[in-house]
Amino acid sequence: MLAFIIRRLVQSIGVLLAVAFIAFAMFRFVGDPVNQIVSIEASPEERAQIRESLGLNDPFVVQFARYVGRAAQLDFGISYQFRQPVTKLLGERMPATLELAFVSAVFALVVGIPMGVYTALRRDSWLAKLFQAVSLVGVSLPTFLIGILLIYVFAVTLGWLPSFGRGEVVRIGDWWTTGFLTASGLRALILPSITLGMFQMTLIMRLVRAEMLEVLRTDYIKFARARGLTRRAINFGHALKNTLVPVITITGLQLGSIIAFAIITETVFQWPGMGVLFLQAVQNVDIPIMAAYLLLIAFLFVVINLAVDLLYAVVDPRLKVSVRAA
Amino acid sequence: MSDAMQDRTEPPAQAEAAPAPGWFARMMDHDLMASFLASRVTVLAAVVTLVLVVLALFAPLIAPYNPFDPAEVFLIDSLTPPRWQAGGDPRFLLGTDDQGRDLFSAILYGLRVSLIIGVLGVMMAAAIGITLGLVAGYVGGRVDAVIMRIADVQLTFPAILIALLVDGVVHALLKGASREDTAFGVLVVSIGLSFWVQYARTVRGSTLVEKHKDYIQAARLVGLSPVVIMARHVLPNVIGPVLVILTINLGLAVITEATLSFLGVGLPPTQPSLGTLIRIGNDYLFSGEWWIVAFPGLTLAALVLAVNLLGDWLRDALNPKLR
């Protein structure tokens, strides 16, 4: 078990280093960092001096090591556009994105699981067929189109919900702002979370449906039926419980992509999160922000992945055996 | 066309005696044809796809106006609603956009651009993925490890994020060139570099199986070079599943193009693609000009839905487990 954890840790660090290398290569070779810092009139001597002081004359490996060292201390340099530390810029916007991602994931689970169970148990009812059709549309419609549609219906036509921004936010501690504590903040969360969570919801629904159908065919369900257990106990106590492990895994793994897909949702709803910042960085070739965002997503993914793997090893005894055998 | 297929499957004795028919032959097998015709949804999806592809291919012939030609842009008539609405103009079936372009024509040309970028992007992804997958599977060892590690790391990121990054980096490297000239190529490259992993993994998996079969050993004994063996002997036998991924990925690629253009990092607004049209339309949503976003949006949704349905069907039909 310990060997498994250590191997996983080493792999994770390897992934992070690889991503850091890409981030650093972007940072170093796309555009000249000196040009981004000095004014146009700077003399060659001044440039050379800045070049030296930034350590750009050092060997590549040394520079990379320095970059990794700084990144480990959450120092990602200064944004070319804003002339402010990247860490501060990202930190300011992180709560907005994380809250949006969290609500989306909850929405996807709370709506997706019951829909999946229903479509599996009542396969031939019209409602199940409707859910199936909706899930197909949910997978096929691009995120931004769903957002535009929701805005048109609920904000423009009906005027029920706001179409942009976070509403009023409350500051908690030094750097966290939350929209959970005000009515306008909660209302502002509804449309973006549905937009962002739609894809994951359909994914979870399809997954739960497929898993349920598979589990309902197994011998222990037949045995439970033979024992005369109530339908409810069989469906929820036995079948659903066994489908939830993969569902939780997938949801965990999807969290990283929810945060990345937030780029689109945030743009549609002008949500002041990290995604919009990243998009601005791409448009203006603000490499430090792009690199930091890349590393951040990789880090989140690696941590989630690791947690899921470890949980799995604890929960599923079969995995322990195969790990030992490997 | 169906006659030809029937002919092919007519002599059953010979077909059974033949050693495992190739993928293409199996696709043309009437089993698949039957499952195709049995599913009304699939037939409908195929018809929709076909209609959209034809519309896109013959856009210059079908479209009443050329949205690239300044002489056929009617700035005075900009933001005209669709023909059947109050204030509509009989000249413009679906109305006009903010630049006075006929929306119907713009959609046709946009569809064409979106489809071309999608197809080229997917083909580039497949080319990269197949090559790397073949090499990884056939050569094995350290080469395999390196290629698959890269694939693993890339899988960490959603394709759209990779596409955004590639887009940003390439535009930065091509600083001198204007966005108008490079956007098209950059989009294809972004899509190609975002979607290759799935092909590589699939091809590598099948290559590992094929590699140890007798015919490959024989080819090796004859003294063929590894490149020839990979291209002529392994490739035809591992290409089957790739075609399924191609279909499924086409929908994703079209979405990616539209998303990038919508986000403002894809095509510039002067070149209509479905994404740029939706982006323009989004700005006019609040002032009531709904048609600029609605019709391109519907076209995009129909295209992606139809292609996805076809892909799903193809995957299920070729999956022996589900038969």
CATH superfamily of A86-325: MetI-like (1.10.3720.10)
pLDDT for position B120: 93
Average pLDDT, chain A: 79
Who among A140, A143, A148 is closest to B285 (CB)?
A: A148
**For residues A93 and A273, is the Cβ–Cβ distance under 8 A?**
yes
* B30-35 mean pLDDT: 62
pLDDT for position B119: 92
**Range scoring the smallest mean pLDDT among A176-190, A309-323, B38-52, B255-269:** A309-323
- In chain A, whose CA is at the least distance from the CA of B248? A140
The token pair at A309 is 């793997």
Taking the C-alpha atoms of residue A210 and residue A196, their distance in angstroms, rounded to an integer, is 23
Taking the C-alpha atoms of residue B245 and residue B201, their distance in angstroms, rounded to an integer, is 11
Residue type, B188: V
Backbone φ/ψ region at A195: left (φ over 0), alpha (ψ -120 to 50), beta = alpha
Q: Could you tell me which residue, B103 or B256, shows the higher pLDDT? A: B256
* A69-92 mean pLDDT: 80
Min Cα–Cα distance to chain B from A27, Å: 10
Total residues belonging to chain A = 326
The residue among B262, B287, B321 with the most chain A CBs within 10 A of its CB, best to mutate, is B262
Min Cα–Cα distance to chain A from B67, Å: 23
* 3-class DSSP string for chain A: CHHHHHHHHHHHHHHHHHHHHHHHHHHHHCCCHHHHHCCCCCCHHHHHHHHHHCCCCCCHHHHHHHHHHHHHCCCCCECCCCCCEHHHHHHHHHHHHHHHHHHHHHHHHHHHHHHHHHHHHCCCCHHHHHHHHHHHHHHHCCHHHHHHHHHHHHHHHCCCCCCCCCCCCEEECCCEEECCCCHHHHHHHHHHHHHHHHHHHHHHHHHHHHHHHHHHCCHHHHHHHHCCCCHHHHHHHHHHHHHHHHHHHHHHHHHHHHHHHHHHHHHHHCCCCHHHHHHHHHHCCCHHHHHHHHHHHHHHHHHHHHHHHHHHHHHCHHHHHHHHHC
Residue contact B160–A152, C-beta within 8 A: no
pLDDT for position B122: 92
In chain B, % of residues over pLDDT 90: 4
3-class DSSP assignment, residue B29 = coil
pLDDT tens column, B104-154: 888 888 888 889 999 999 999 999 999 999 898 888 888 888 888 888 778
Q: Looking at beta carbons, which residues of chain A come within 8 Å of B300?
A: 142, 145
Taking the C-alpha atoms of residue A64 and residue A296, their distance in angstroms, rounded to an integer, is 17
Q: Is the pLDDT of residue A203 over 90?
A: no
- In chain B, whose CA is at the least distance from the CA of A259? B158
pLDDT tens column, A138-196: 777 888 888 888 888 888 778 787 777 777 777 777 777 777 777 777 788 888 988 88
Q: What is the ipTM metric for this complex?
A: 0.78
Q: Looking at beta carbons, which residues of chain B come within 8 Å of A260?
A: 157-158, 160-161
**What letter would DSSP give residue B157?**
S
Contact residues for B205 (Cβ-Cβ < 8 A; gap 6+): B137
List the beta bridge partners of residue A171: A177
Q: Looking at beta carbons, which residues of chain B come within 8 Å of A136?
A: 305, 308-309
**Range scoring the smallest mean pLDDT among A155-159, A292-296, B31-35:** B31-35
Domain ranges of chain A: 2-72, 86-325
Residue B123 CA from chain centroid, whole number: 8
- Between the alpha carbon of residue B85 and those of residues B95, B291, B296, B298, the distances in Å are 9, 11, 18, 18
Average pLDDT, chain B: 77
pLDDT for position A218: 81
Domain ranges of chain B: 39-60+94-318
* B183-208 mean pLDDT: 86
pLDDT for position B310: 85
Q: CB neighbours (10 Å) of residue A127? A: 11
- Which residues of A lie inside 8 Å of B (Cβ-Cβ)? 14-15, 18-19, 26, 30-31, 136-137, 139-145, 148-149, 151-152, 156, 163, 256-257, 260-261, 263-264, 267-268, 278-279, 281-283, 285, 287, 290, 294, 297-298, 301-302
Residue contact A298–B300, C-beta within 8 A: no
Band (pLDDT 50/70/90 cuts) for residue A282 is confident
Min Cα–Cα distance to chain B from A173, Å: 31
Band (pLDDT 50/70/90 cuts) for residue A4 is confident
**For residues B170 and B102, is the Cβ–Cβ distance under 8 A?**
no
**Residue B130 CB-density burial (10 A; 0-12 exposed, 13-18 middle, 19+ buried):** buried
**Range scoring the smallest mean pLDDT among A57-71, A98-112, A224-238, A310-324:** A310-324
**What letter would DSSP give residue B81?**
P
Q: Could you tell me which residue, B320 or A196, shows the higher pLDDT? A: A196
The token pair at A125 is 């009812």
Residue with tokens 């887009």, as numbered in its chain: B167
Taking the C-alpha atoms of residue B74 and residue B282, their distance in angstroms, rounded to an integer, is 21
Sign of CA dihedral B138, B141, B146, B149: positive
Q: CB neighbours (10 Å) of residue A107? A: 19
Band (pLDDT 50/70/90 cuts) for residue B9 is very low
List the beta bridge partners of residue A176: A172
Residue contact B168–A298, C-beta within 8 A: no
3-class DSSP assignment, residue B67 = coil
Residue type, B81: P
A83 phi and psi angles, rounded to 5 deg: 55, 35
Q: Is the pLDDT of residue A81 over 80?
A: no
Band (pLDDT 50/70/90 cuts) for residue B2 is very low
CATH number at B39-60+94-318:
1.10.3720.10
pLDDT for position A130: 86
Who among B165, B171, B263 is closest to A267 (CB)?
A: B263
**For residues A198 and A146, is the Cβ–Cβ distance under 8 A?**
yes
Min Cα–Cα distance to chain A from B179, Å: 11
**What letter would DSSP give residue B234?**
I
Q: Is the pLDDT of residue B54 over 80?
A: yes
pLDDT for position B129: 92
Radius of gyration of chain A (CA): 24
pLDDT tens column, A13-23: 888 888 888 88
